[in-house]
Each structure stands twice: as C-alpha cells, then as structure tokens.
Amino acid sequence: MKWNLEKAAVNTSRRSFIRAGMLAAAAAPAIAVWPSSWPQIPDQQPQGQGLPEFTGPEPNSYWNSIGPLVTEPQKGPLILLTDRPVQLETPRQHFLTPFTPNEAFYVRWHLETLPNSVDLKEWRLAIEGNIEKPLTLSLPDLFTRFKAVSIAAVNQCSGNSRSQFQPRVVGGQWGNGAMGNALWTGVKLRDVLDAAKVKSGSVQVQFEGLDRGKGPAGFGSNRFMKSLDLSNPVIDEVILAYAMNNKPLPMLNGFPLRVIVPGFFATYWLKSLSSIRILDKPDDNFWMKTAYRIPDTPHGTTTPDEFKTGKVPTVPINKMPVRSFLISPDGSDKIPAGFPLLLQGIAFTGTGGIRKVEVSDDNGKTWRDAHLGEEFGQYAFRTWQFAWTPNQPGMYQIAVRASDGSGITQSEEAVWNPGGYLWNKIERQQLVVGSAD
C-alpha cells in the first residue's frame, strides 16, 4: 500500500526521486559527495519509514498503528488510520506528560459528513424530549447561565489497541494511541437537565452531534447517537465541555461542545454536540442496540467459537478497565550497560484512580513499585517513574502493571470479543542493553 498525497505531485514518489538522483549522478560524475556505495541506498528505507504496509494475521507488534504521519487542521503530525471519516492516532511520545496537547489528541469520527465549520450565530444546543421546559442554548448561554466546572479525564476509544487482538478482528486497527487526557471545562449535564425539568418516567439521556453519514435514514450509517441511563451515577459527573486544556476544542475533537463522561469509554463523549434528548424508553438506535456492545461475561471476554453460537449475552460498553504503559525509553535506543535510566510512563483507570504501578525487568517474574507522579483526579493519566540501571548486556522484557482503586490489577490475560474492545493486558517493551566496554 503506497500513499499518494493528493496535493503532492507524482515526482515525489520514491522511485522517481531515485531515478532523478541516478540521472543527476550520471550527468555529473564529478560530484563527490555521494558515498561510493550510493546505488545501494535506494533499497534502504529512510529511518522511521520502514514500517510494514499492513499487520496481521498476527498481532501488530508496534506500540502505535503503522500508518503514515499526516497533518490535519489544528493538528500536528498524527498517525493516519482513515481519512474519511477522519481517524488519527496519537504517537507514543506525546504520552510523557499527564495532559495530552490538543494538537496531538487522537481523532475518531464515525460518519463522513463531519463539521469543517460551525457558525456560532446559528449553533444551538437543544434540550428536548421528555422534559417540561425545552431549552435552546447558545454558547454564551452556557458561559453565563450555568456554573463552570473542570475535570481532568482520560478519553479512550473503545477500540484502542484493537490491533493486538488474536485472532484479529475487523475495525479501526488502532495501536495504543487512541487515548488522551485533557482538562475539560464546561457545564454540568445535571444543571442543564435541572433547568429543563426532566419528567418522571424518563429512563435515558441521548446525545447527538452535527455529524451525519451518507447512509439512508434510519440506519447507523446516517446518524450517530449514544445514550446513558439516567439512573447511572455517572450522570452527576457528566460535563458538557466547551474547553479542552483551557482552549476551545479543535474542530476534529468536537468544537464547540462535547460530552465528557469521566471513566467511560469515548463512544459516549459525543462531539460537536447539538441535541440532548430525554427518552422515556431505552434507546434502540443502532449505536446502542447493535454496536459498541461487550460480552456480559467477566472482563468482557469470549471466544470466536463461543460467540458464533449466538448465545453470548451482551451489554453496552461502559467503564474503562485499568491500563498502564511504558512511554520512555521506547525501545528505539540501544542502551549501554550500567546506564542510569529513568523509565517513564502513564497509567489510568475508569474506577477509583491509580493506586499502584509496578515494573518488572524480568518479563513479569518479579515486580517493584514505581514512583507515582502528581494526581490530577481519579480519571486522569497518572504519570510514573522508575529508576533502572541495567548492569548486564541483554534483551530485557520490561513489563508494567497498574492497580486501581477498585482493587483490580492488570493481568496477563488477553481479552477477546468481536468488537475489539476493552484491551488491557500487561504491556511489554523490549529494551536492548549493549556492552559498555
């Protein structure tokens, strides 16, 4: 698979670049800057571009997905998953800090007609359905009529790390970078619902944004809507956020307003929010009834054969299980024996905050506690550090595991479900330590 930037002319392709180089060399043999071995160079990929064109059927062996880096509006170079609708993954190095920069924050849309532009003169948030007082709120209404609140919370795609599944499953082949932590500021959903006066007999709150698809009406390919049970305690924590890390939301992350559901997977965090509907019966639209469901089994895991029987009960995906990652070093540097390294990474969970992060340098046989960084609330990334000096040369399998406030510790068990959701097994990184003398 080769990538053609539509803007780029044909002559930027590697082959013609090489041909141009050969012509130049033939025409000017006196040019001495080429090393004598230069004809071999075209067979070597420039560093960092030697990734395979696809992964599978085995698991993706890279930390991130393997697509090319691209830029999109308001975004620095991110890893391309899909261009239409837009899906972009955050490269590993952006996870060294507890807050993920807006320009590096991953992007995932379901429907291809997503907003390029929003006119705030026209944009309104409608609160409708089973309520006494329908509301139509402008952005200034949200700024002035409701109290502003902030929360640091991790937004993670349900399918983050899907490319690790074995056997592989269909869907966005994310590496580990479909996640990010931001400080979200906005108004409490509860305050808005109180202003609209929810009628008794209401069961769910449904969210919808400005995005639409090319599919026919009544199908999931036409509209994307997600609902939460009004009885779920998370309702009191939901924020309708207009700010991300103290700045307006990037268009691709849901300008001007998005739903924040702390601790829950990102499928509920609707972007470019335009409607909130109070339902008096459970939402049966495609994105609730059919998609984003997990096996109603311990850890949401099943097997392909078991699932084929059609007897595995499912429930809508909800809270995120605990995860942790080594971010630096990332395995690309060979380390001299005796070098005093600082292993650094992040951990997070949907339940009860991070209590402990442990590191193993012997492939998970023995574990030692890492030092935890500042806590920015129970739903945020928690950074960790571990001073480590490998004294002997060797191939070290570094493993990291976190424990959360619900008493759950990451395990070696890999989940499998047909959606490719809930991946959270202990991550490993090989570090190569060479002789120092």
User: What residues numbered 384-403 form the site for another protein, per CB under 8 A?
Assistant: none
List 23, 41, 96, 315, residue binding another protein (CB under 8 A): 41
Phi, psi (deg, nearest 5) at residue 327: -100, -40
List 106, 242, 265, 286, residue binding another protein (CB under 8 A): 286
The span of 243-251, 258-266, 354-362, 378-386 binding another protein (CB under 8 A) equals 243-251
The span of 193-201, 220-228, 328-336, 423-431 binding another protein (CB under 8 A) equals 220-228
Q: Does position 112 bind another protein by CB under 8 A?
A: yes
List 49, 144, 231, 309, residue binding another protein (CB under 8 A): 49
List 9, 28, 29, 121, residue binding another protein (CB under 8 A): 121
83 vs 128, which CB is nearer to another protein? 83
Q: Does position 256 bind another protein by CB under 8 A?
A: yes
Interacting residues with another protein between 348 and 377 (CB under 8 A): none
Give CA angle at 336 (334, 340), nearest 5°. Answer: 110
The span of 41-49, 146-154, 180-188, 394-402 binding another protein (CB under 8 A) equals 41-49
Nearest to 90 by CA among 377, 381, 430: 381
List 26, 27, 53, 374, residue binding another protein (CB under 8 A): 53
Q: Where are the beta strands (DSSP E) in 157-193?
A: 179-188
Interacting residues with another protein between 56 and 95 (CB under 8 A): 56-57, 67-75, 77, 80-86
Q: Does position 25 bind another protein by CB under 8 A?
A: no
Taken in order 89, 92, 98, 104, is the CA torsion positive or negative? negative
Q: How far is 153 from 382, CA to CA, in rounded Å? A: 11
Taken in order 240, 244, 249, 254, is the CA torsion positive or negative? negative
Q: Does position 39 bind another protein by CB under 8 A?
A: no
Q: How far is the CB of 231 from another protein (least distance, A)?
A: 29
147 vs 214, which CB is nearer to another protein? 214
DSSP H or E run through 227: strand 225-229
Q: How far is 103 from 100, CA to CA, in rounded Å? A: 8
Q: How far is the CB of 152 from another protein (least distance, A)?
A: 25
Q: Where are the beta strands (DSSP E) in 254-339?
A: 258-260, 273-279, 293-295, 314-316, 323-328, 335-336
Q: How far is the CB of 284 from another protein (least distance, A)?
A: 14
Number of residues counted as binding another protein (CB under 8 A): 71
Cβ distance 262 to 153 under 8 Å? yes
Phi, psi (deg, nearest 5) at residue 170: -70, 145
Q: Does position 46 bind another protein by CB under 8 A?
A: yes
Q: Which residues pair with 198 in a beta bridge?
A: 131
List 97, 150, 202, 221, residue binding another protein (CB under 8 A): 221
The span of 169-177, 199-207, 331-339, 379-387 binding another protein (CB under 8 A) equals 169-177
Q: How far is 72 from 68, CA to CA, in rounded Å? A: 13
116 vs 144, which CB is nearer to another protein? 116
353 vs 419, which CB is nearer to another protein? 419
Cβ distance 301 to 295 under 8 Å? yes
Other beta carbons within 10 angstroms of residue 364's beta carbon come to: 16
Q: Which residues contact 194 (CB under 8 A, 6 or more apart)?
A: none
